[in-house]
Structure 1
């Protein structure tokens, strides 16, 4: 992630009426940033006064505050234009779907259920106050004479990843039922988004470091590992990042093309894996993520434009994708510590080379070839190729796959 320019002494406002909860928050803040300047209050009106007098780097507020409730505080702050968005953690005992729907449009950085969990609090505050994965990133600046190639070289190891291809708020709303967030429904809503998929898998593997079992390699496994609250907060947090959605039409068009290619590859991989009785969902994820680097380049090109850089479309865009796409993808998969098995399947999309390969790797290579084939062309040659022969998949099977 991009390095965050943190204030020398971060200032935090805690608005919490319950003395025990307020004490816990103050204790955890002191543990995470002992130098933080913390202002505490137990009433919403006092919180408003403090917000009017002081510039804060983080607000932590309870929905059920007396006077002016925490949701009203959040709503008022979101109506004030600020770049970057002020991080705001909203806490509540309300877990029903109606409450979550009411909160979603205001984009809190996190929505934490009470009673508060100390470890979860520490993780959230470390991300926000120590420049971790959830910290808001600073916009890149363009020094005089900086070339686009040099800018992308710099951004390769700092990029936020791909733009979002899914309407996150709609996805979360559709996944709510009277009892709260339905993880199965959420999986169906977000499983086609490369950025959300990668972020969930990365977070789940980080959370699972000291737990038994193998690495998390699919969206379903990640949602199960993280649980409903952390999953929703992580996904909503992605929408607050800079250039989370592409606004330059030409770049958005490129992103749509690469996303569609990822989806075709993922669907073919799942279908071939099912045909051969192999692990379908891991193959699907590998196919979906194989163009993550190209999408990340497009997001950085939008950053370049927003910072005042010039961009010739489409020639310069195509050149940047060809030159930097693979490097961005490799850097992201390594930095996010995606499981080695998943990275190997992604690599198989691009080629096999020499050596012995798993059947799943061969499936990925076959899926990529099928996704790139022109309609109604090339199946005979594909059936004669090395990958098809190793998988023992002939022209009849490939023809049926193409028709699905």
Structure 2
């Protein structure tokens, strides 16, 4: 069976492809971003279903493609997917015998059911797979998922900016973020917090805040916002877990930053690593959501066991895919284990911050780390001490 997707948004292409392959893993899915490319694929392949965006690049309309196809094929099922839901768009689509008109954003499960109806009607001999979706097999194919799907795009963009040789200036960031209330509020709050303890009056503008905390730390705040964004997750258990992971990472990052400040180490480096300790867990949650979007069913136990089994694998693959510097990878890994014989203070610091965040106040490991870093227990940030982390959640 062959389906054709004509859509210029790559993320939407990938979602629709996932839905189609969730119905039948043997399905051939062809994608095009323009009318010319779509028409060429339709001529070359025996297309059984067309999914077409209404608004395409260069002011083209998907109805032009539909009109060309209907001149030669009056039976092909056509589903128009668009951000427009006005009466004129619906009327024009009906004039060209479009079978379905779906407005973005849409419910993937509902769309999947409607697509299935048209595929079965077009070819009743086709056996649409539906009961053999397996969460384990779906999530285990890490390489394929990370190649086809765009996990946490905001986080990837933020990390790319953080790690590039010449990051933007404070002025450029202020111009770029001037209409973003979430990052503005977060940066002003951080600039006036105890972590960035400074003299003088309170800072009140975005540009002042960026200049005060520095470009590196400002970029890590954008990363924090991106990693804490749960809008991609529709399942309630996935949403709750994502919030838990974000809160835990935020706490660890703030402890790491406070320790770095006390030890006169790079605050932004340690803060960034702390934010990313749950990267793999969050990626698995997104993979599970995609499984659900494809028609799969999960229980809370399924979610818990899958995250536990695949978090490390997804985290490692994402670090490679995003080309994270080795030093950053090492700091993230050190939050789980600093390693025997390690003397790098930033690695020891990350492990100590993780112990504090976990509440291991009197553990032998924490005492050893304090000795290695030449810190007294009274020097440590924490709920029982004066210098506990500031909350910088949006």
Q: TM-score under structure 2 normalisation?
A: 0.51
Q: Distance in 1 between matches of 2:129 and 2:252?
A: 36
- Whether the 8 Å CA contact 1:383–1:389 is kept in 2: the answer is no
Q: Does 1:147 align with 2:134?
A: yes
- Whether the 8 Å CA contact 2:35–2:60 is kept in 1: the answer is no
Match of 1:359 in 2: 345
Relative to 1, partners in 2 of residues 1:387 and 1:328: Cα closer, same or farther, differing over 3 Å?
same
Relative to 1, partners in 2 of residues 1:399 and 1:356: Cα closer, same or farther, differing over 3 Å?
closer
Q: Does 1:11 align with 2:34?
A: yes
Q: Does 1:389 align with 2:385?
A: no
- Whether the 8 Å CA contact 2:83–2:103 is kept in 1: the answer is no
Q: Does 1:341 align with 2:364?
A: no
| 1:262 aligned to which of 234, 249, 255 | 249
Relative to 1, partners in 2 of residues 1:188 and 1:279: Cα closer, same or farther, differing over 3 Å?
farther
Aligned residues: 252
The structure that has the greater radius of gyration is 2
- Whether the 8 Å CA contact 2:259–2:353 is kept in 1: the answer is yes
Q: Distance in 1 between matches of 2:280 and 2:178?
A: 30
Match of 2:278 in 1: 291
- Whether the 8 Å CA contact 1:379–1:398 is kept in 2: the answer is no
- Whether the 8 Å CA contact 1:157–1:328 is kept in 2: the answer is no
258-267 vs 142-151, which deviates more? 142-151
Relative to 1, partners in 2 of residues 1:359 and 1:185: Cα closer, same or farther, differing over 3 Å?
farther
- Whether the 8 Å CA contact 2:355–2:361 is kept in 1: the answer is no
Q: State the 1:305 CA deviation.
A: 1.7
Q: State the 1:282 CA deviation.
A: 1.1
Q: Distance in 2 between matches of 1:276 and 1:332?
A: 30
Q: State the 1:345 CA deviation.
A: 0.4
Relative to 1, partners in 2 of residues 1:347 and 1:223: Cα closer, same or farther, differing over 3 Å?
closer
Q: State the 1:245 CA deviation.
A: 2.0
Q: Superposition RMSD on alpha carbons, in Å?
A: 4.8
Match of 2:238 in 1: 251
SS in structure 2 of the partner of residue 337 of structure 1: coil
Superposed CA deviations along residues 42-92 of structure 1, whole A, max 9, x for unmatched, are xx9xx8784433369xxxxxxxxxxxxxxxx97679x9865887xxxxxxx
Match of 1:161 in 2: 151
SS in structure 2 of the partner of residue 380 of structure 1: coil
Q: Distance in 2 between matches of 1:254 and 1:163?
A: 19
| 1:305 aligned to which of 282, 288, 292 | 292
Q: Does 1:272 align with 2:259?
A: yes
SS in structure 2 of the partner of residue 54 of structure 1: helix
Q: TM-score under structure 1 normalisation?
A: 0.50
Q: State the 1:306 CA deviation.
A: 2.0
Q: Does 1:350 align with 2:336?
A: yes
- Whether the 8 Å CA contact 2:280–2:318 is kept in 1: the answer is yes
Q: State the 1:384 CA deviation.
A: 5.6
SS in structure 1 of the partner of residue 299 of structure 2: coil
Q: How does 1:1-400 map to 2 (within 5 A)?
A: 7=30, 10-11=33-34, 50-54=61-65, 82=102, 145-155=132-142, 158-159=145-146, 160-162=150-152, 181-182=177-178, 218=216, 220=218, 245-313=232-300, 315-373=301-359, 378-381=360-363, 385-398=367-380
Q: State the 1:156 CA deviation.
A: 5.4
Superposed CA deviations along residues 168-209 of structure 1, whole A, max 9, x for unmatched, are xxxxxxxx9997643997755678xxxxxxxxxxxxxxxxxx
- Whether the 8 Å CA contact 2:259–2:380 is kept in 1: the answer is no
Structure 2: give runs of 5+ residues left out of the alignment.
1-9, 18-28, 42-54, 68-81, 91-100, 106-127, 156-171, 188-214, 389-394
Q: Distance in 2 between matches of 1:304 and 1:298?
A: 10
Match of 2:166 in 1: none
Superposed CA deviations along residues 345-364 of structure 1, whole A, max 9, x for unmatched, are 00101102224342111111
Q: State the 1:304 CA deviation.
A: 1.6
Q: Distance in 2 between matches of 1:162 and 1:259?
A: 13
- Whether the 8 Å CA contact 2:177–2:184 is kept in 1: the answer is no
Structure 1: give runs of 5+ residues left out of the alignment.
14-29, 37-43, 57-72, 86-140, 166-175, 192-216, 225-230
